[in-house]
Amino acid sequence: MSRVCNSHDVISASGIAFGTSGARGLVTDFTPEVCAAFTASFISVMRQHFAFETVALAIDNRPSSYAMAQACAAALDDNGISTIFYGVIPTPALALQAMADRIPAIMVTGSHIPFDRNGLKFYRPDGEITKDDELAILNAEATCKQLVLKELPVSTFAAENYITRYLSLFPTPFLENKRIGIYEHSSAGRELYKPLFEALGAEVISLGRSDNFVPIDTEAVSEDDREKAIRWAEQFKLDAIFSTDGDGDRPLISDEKGNWLRGDVLGLLCSLALSADAVAIPVSCNSIISSGNFFKHVELTKIGSPYVIAAFPELSQSYERIAGFEANGGFLLGSDVTINSQLLSALPTRDAVLPAIMLLYSSREKNISSLVEQLPCRYTHSDRLQNVSLEQSRKLIEMGTENPQSLLNAIGLQSEIAASVDTTDGIRIMLGSRCIVHLRPSGNAPELRCYAEANSLEFAQFIVKRVLTCISNT
């Protein structure tokens, strides 16, 4: 039994902050008291807007996640709220079920960040919490009298409904004669993906299951994972490989050669398959998307799903079929759409399965690489430099804002000139060569991300490597 006093005081002292998607920090900082404080504050904020008696709860496969869920459930119980625990499932599966039941939800996950860290994602009955909700949670002053940690019985209902959502769209198993590899590692959805793709007609080969947590970053795929995919594709004669990050809301899918698709390219192809009228995307996405050739309107946002979601209400005033996606591959369906005469309800949170399925549906009579090759030849690459303090990152951003040329000189691009600067999120510089370099501090870890865009993949990769090497040597 433990006591939580004022949730605001506990959260403030924890050092845990909201990033681009949820509250994240070191596992050692997510004590039962801290988990309870976040939960109590979340409940107090939700009670100001919604009436509910139950909260949905789920976890990823991190070693620390179940104990954190127990603490969240204990805080809910202390506040007179029942818990329905869905066990290890993808974040979008939890969000889908909670929205259907019109109740809040909490997902215990650190997504792609290393296993010594973890996090909490919060959902309103109508979808992801907003940035205003985050601020309200941090400032709320709620209390827990006592915490009693209990075993949590698991319901399979959310997982079953998530699979049904996508199987219902297709009258026939359109993946017959296709071989799909599932890179399972420690993904929260690994028990669902094989039966899902088999039900769609594919022969499925399970790959790379791990008993240890694997922090897959779909935006900065490791060289080892790149080599694995190419090897698997050849060895098993695959038509595609599907994977996700840790909590199953960001997809990673390859073509028939084992080449992983960039997340924004995947999002573009999915949006086209859905006949989207308008899309909302972060500024880090490939500039071909906003070129005006694909959609009636493209809204550029800061990086993070809350910002993408925030653009949906205004877009819905003028456009019927709305979507959003990110460079990490997360796809957000902002409106109801009809596919094969079947209604697919909006799901305004990151989802990994929808873009994968729509890509496979679009390539059912061809291969994936042929779809990619039809797009304009503009390539992006990104990677991250770990153990970079927020202060160091901010100094670089400030340097570039005050004098873009000084920043270019400092990061090894002294031969380039700054044609234009965008400070929507970090600093994004259009170079005189028409290439783009974009620096942005991580919202939830001591990391600096570098994005680059060029007319060849090799040069985009060169820019990222050059920039991060220069920064690491300073």
- Percent with pLDDT over 70 in the chain: 98
Instruction: Count the neighbouring beta carbons within 10 Å of the beta carbon of residue 238.
Output: 25
> Catalytic residue numbers?
111
State the average pLDDT over residues 277-283: 97
Structure tokens at 87: 């066990």
Contact indicator for 340, 415 with CB cutoff of 8 Å: no
pLDDT reported for residue 2: 59
Least confident of 82-91, 141-150, 161-170, 189-198: 141-150
| Neighbour-count burial of 55, counting CB atoms closer than 10 A to its CB (0-12 exposed, 13-18 middle, 19+ buried) | buried
Burial pattern 194-205, b for ≥16 Cβ within 10 A else e, equals: bebbebbbbbbb
Domain extents in the chain: 2-156, 168-373, 379-472
Contact indicator for 446, 390 with CB cutoff of 8 Å: yes
382 pLDDT above the threshold of 60: yes
How do residues 174-192 score in pLDDT, each as one tens digit?
A: 999 999 999 999 999 999 9
pLDDT band at 20 (very low <50, low <70, confident <90, very high): confident
Q: Do domains 2-156 and 168-373 have the same CATH topology?
A: yes
What is the secondary structure of 239-260 as a DSSP string? SEEEEE-TTSSSEEEB-TTSPB
Least confident of 55-64, 285-294, 352-361, 432-441: 285-294
Q: Distances from the Cα of 278 to the Cαs of 23, 152, 239, 271, in angstroms?
A: 30, 42, 30, 9
With respect to CATH, is domain 379-472 assigned 3.30.310.50?
Answer: yes
Instruction: Count the neighbouring beta carbons within 10 Å of the beta carbon of residue 179.
Output: 17
CA dist., res. 224 & res. 210, Å (int): 15
pLDDT reported for residue 214: 87
CA dist., res. 255 & res. 242, Å (int): 9
pLDDT reported for residue 78: 93
pLDDT reported for residue 136: 97
Least confident of 2-11, 162-171, 210-219, 397-406: 2-11
pLDDT reported for residue 390: 85
Helices marked H in 51-210: 65-78, 91-101, 131-139, 157-167, 190-199
Q: Nearest Cα to 123, choosing from 153, 165, 158, 156?
A: 158
CATH assignment of 168-373, among 3.30.70.1230, 3.40.50.300, 3.40.120.10, 3.40.190.10: 3.40.120.10
Contact indicator for 338, 274 with CB cutoff of 8 Å: no
Which amino acid is present at 379? Answer: Y
CA dist., res. 79 & res. 75, Å (int): 6
Q: Distances from the Cα of 258 to the Cαs of 122, 241, 253, 278, in angstroms?
A: 35, 7, 9, 30
CATH assignment of 2-156, among 3.40.120.10, 3.40.50.720, 3.40.605.10, 1.10.468.10: 3.40.120.10
pLDDT reported for residue 270: 98
CA dist., res. 428 & res. 265, Å (int): 19
| Neighbour-count burial of 227, counting CB atoms closer than 10 A to its CB (0-12 exposed, 13-18 middle, 19+ buried) | exposed
